[in-house]
Amino acid sequence: MLKKIRDFLELIKFEHTIFALPFAYIGMVLAADGWPTWRQFVWITVAMAAARTLAMGVNRIADRALDALNPRTANRPLVTGRIALSTAWAGTAISGLALSFAAWQLGPLPLTLLPGALLFLVGYVFTKRFTWLSHFILGFTDGLAPMGAWVAVRGSLFTADDLPAWLLLGVVMLWIGGFDIIYACQDVEADREAGLHAIPARFGVPVALAVSSLCHVITITLLIALGQTLALGWPYWLGLAIIAGLLIYEHSLVRPNDLSRVNVAFFNINSYISVTLLVSVLGALFLVNGLNGF
């Protein structure tokens, strides 16, 4: 049983939860204007980890035939048979149950919105079969993390005071959509042969990298709007400057004729960005609220 659990966590790259989990925490602490209850913190963490696990499990199961055709993904455990399909299904189903239970624990509105979240978590993987906007649908799906955390704490989403939640949704959608475009540059030929839709495969790598850069410029713009809306202090603006520098560095690593450092840009830099933003938000709130805010 322990081996099956380890195999499943390897299959879905559980460690990459670090990309989106800090954004859930950002939505959580901004909604609480400090630290929420520990009960909210625990169930938001469970919900976020379970949501990503569910989405990645569905992704690996649904794409296993396509992965077998792509040299970059042909060695994935579900393709080679090192991990049984039944193990993948079991882990995915359990994560879905965990997400549903966490939503129930977090209150009526998170539970009410759960079916919509499930639609994106399960459905986003199929969008690349018919639209090159799939990058942004993936980003929108990940953007539900901070929005869901906000709803779990505030219990609202559609008032004027909920604007920060929508700004965070836009930030994550464009940030992740932008670097997913970079990542897809590796698969141009494989995507074209398989009939899959992606911006690099449809418009070429140079255009794709330009679109990715535009996405990240708008990401910074939305982060500026977030800081102004909530009147966040200097730690936030310092963190934002660092993030802008990291995004510039990320794009400097990738060229249309040189994609050898895509993995560095995709995995390393983006984990630094998410953690930096979380630390800067916590620092700003700490300065405003003092110890009583945490």
From 150, 189, 182, select the one nearest 166 (Cα to Cα): 150
Q: What does the block give as tokens for 177?
A: 């959509």
pLDDT of amino acid 169: 97
Give the integer Cα–Cα distance in Å for 258 and 211.
Answer: 17
Enumerate residues 6+ apart whose C-beta is below 8 A from 271: 18, 19
pLDDT of amino acid 291: 47
Q: What does the block give as tokens for 245?
A: 């520098």
Domain ranges of the chain: 2-293
Say which CATH architecture domain 2-293 belongs to. Orthogonal Bundle (1.10)
Enumerate residues 6+ apart whose C-beta is below 8 A from 246: 269, 272, 273, 276
pLDDT of amino acid 150: 97
3-state secondary structure the chain: CHHHHHHHHHHCCHHHHHHCHHHHHHHHHHHHCCCCCHHHHHHHHHHHHHHHHHHHHHHHHHCHHHHHHCCCCCCCHHHHCCCCHHHHHHHHHHHHHHHHHHHHHHCHHHHHHHHHHHHHHHHHHHHHHCCCCHHHHHHHHHHHHHHHHHHHHHCCCCCHHHHHHHHHHHHHHHHHHHHHHHHHHHHHHHHHHHCCCCHHHHHCHHHHHHHHHHHHHHHHHHHHHHHHHCCCCHHHHHHHHHHHHHHHHHHHCCECCECCCHHHHHHHHHHHHHHHHHHHHHHHHHHHHHHHHC
pLDDT of amino acid 77: 84
pLDDT of amino acid 257: 85
pLDDT of amino acid 212: 97
pLDDT of amino acid 292: 47
pLDDT of amino acid 58: 93
pLDDT of amino acid 215: 98
Q: What does the block give as tokens for 278?
A: 């979380």
pLDDT of amino acid 138: 95
Q: What does the block give as tokens for 139?
A: 């980003």
pLDDT of amino acid 229: 96
Q: pLDDT digit of tens for each residue in the chain (294 aa)?
A: 676 667 676 766 766 666 678 999 999 999 999 899 999 999 999 999 899 889 989 999 999 999 898 888 888 888 888 888 888 899 899 999 999 999 999 999 999 999 999 999 999 999 999 999 999 999 999 999 999 999 999 999 999 999 999 999 999 999 999 999 999 999 999 999 999 999 999 999 999 999 999 999 999 999 999 999 999 999 999 999 999 999 999 999 888 888 888 876 667 788 889 999 999 999 999 887 664 455
pLDDT of amino acid 2: 73
pLDDT of amino acid 293: 52
